[in-house]
Amino acid sequence: MFHTPPHAVSRLRSTRLARSAKPFLARGGSKVERCTGCRLAPSHCMCALRPVLPSHPNQAGVCLLMADIEPLKPSNTGWLIADVVADTSAFGWARTEVDPTLLALLADPQWQPYLVFPGEFVAPERVVTDLLPPVAHAEAKRPLFVLLDATWPEARKMFRKSPYLDKLPVLSLQADRISRYKLRRSRRDDHFCTSEVAALCLELAGEPHAAQTLEAYLDVFTHRYLQAKQQQPADVDNAAHQRLQGLRQG
């Protein structure tokens, strides 16, 4: 089992656990021992496969606004984003208060924040389907993708009850694929998990290698999570592992 430095989601999880009155049990009430670095059973740990991507000055960032228990769920995929995207921030959402650090991040002049949400639920004047062009005679801002990490009903509530997000352009993704996520059920094939949404955003930001790496990383995580649940060994030679290995070496 490998131990990696705690990232934003890991730190948020620790903070959330510290104020819990009782231990969090994943669905089914299981008390399976889990690696602190990847949340998988130690026998299926994938910390050694965590991608390390080179950084560059104009790299996109991700800001995760997470529903109360999302950081505690072993199936949460925001964790994978924080593993892959160096500039990932994570904040817990509450209806009655907002972290001042989040407000400072959204106001930071180096960033152009985009609230990622389906355009069909938003006033048309707020919706964009591509990144905004830079303002004339001004330095280009780095895109910051604000993702509501929650179930769909929770995400809609967060969208409606977060007035500090009202001034942000809403990025409506035009995906031509269906979700491959298998760890939680959705009634619609066009509902993507948070990690899939982040990969689509990175692709839009002109970072295809990061997008493909995140997609492959999710596939490996999904495989290992399900194999551990079924008490079967991970197939380290399957297509998902081979793809991730190729991207990590590329």
In the chain, the amino acid numbered 217 is Y
- What span, in angstroms and rounded, lies between the C-alpha atoms of 65 and 78? 10
- What span, in angstroms and rounded, lies between the C-alpha atoms of 66 and 230? 28
Element (H, E) at 113: strand 111-116
The whole-number average pLDDT for the span 40-49 is 95
pLDDT at 187 over 60: no
Which is more confident, 54 or 149? Answer: 149
**249 falls in which pLDDT band (50, 70, 90)?**
confident
Model pLDDT, residue 192: 87
Model pLDDT, residue 199: 96
Instruction: End-to-end CA distance of the chain: give it in Å, rounded.
Output: 25
- Contact present, 228 and 41 (Cβ < 8 Å): yes
Cβ burial of 47 (10 Å; 0-12, 13-18, 19+) is: middle
pLDDT at 59 over 80: yes
In which region does residue 29 sit, left (phi positive, over 0), alpha (psi from -120 to 50) or beta (all else)? Answer: left
**147 falls in which pLDDT band (50, 70, 90)?**
very high
- Contact present, 217 and 224 (Cβ < 8 Å): no
Least confident of 102-111, 132-141, 165-174, 241-250: 132-141
Least confident of 77-86, 146-155, 162-171, 188-197: 188-197
Model pLDDT, residue 52: 83
Model pLDDT, residue 28: 47
**Residue of 200, 199, 179, 229 whose CA lies nearest to 74:** 229
Model pLDDT, residue 180: 61
- What span, in angstroms and rounded, lies between the C-alpha atoms of 109 and 44? 42
Which pTM value belongs to this model? 0.91
Other beta carbons within 10 angstroms of residue 88's beta carbon come to: 22
- What span, in angstroms and rounded, lies between the C-alpha atoms of 60 and 201? 9
Model pLDDT, residue 186: 47
Least confident of 3-7, 67-71, 175-179, 201-205: 175-179
The whole-number average pLDDT for the span 210-232 is 96
- Contact present, 82 and 221 (Cβ < 8 Å): no
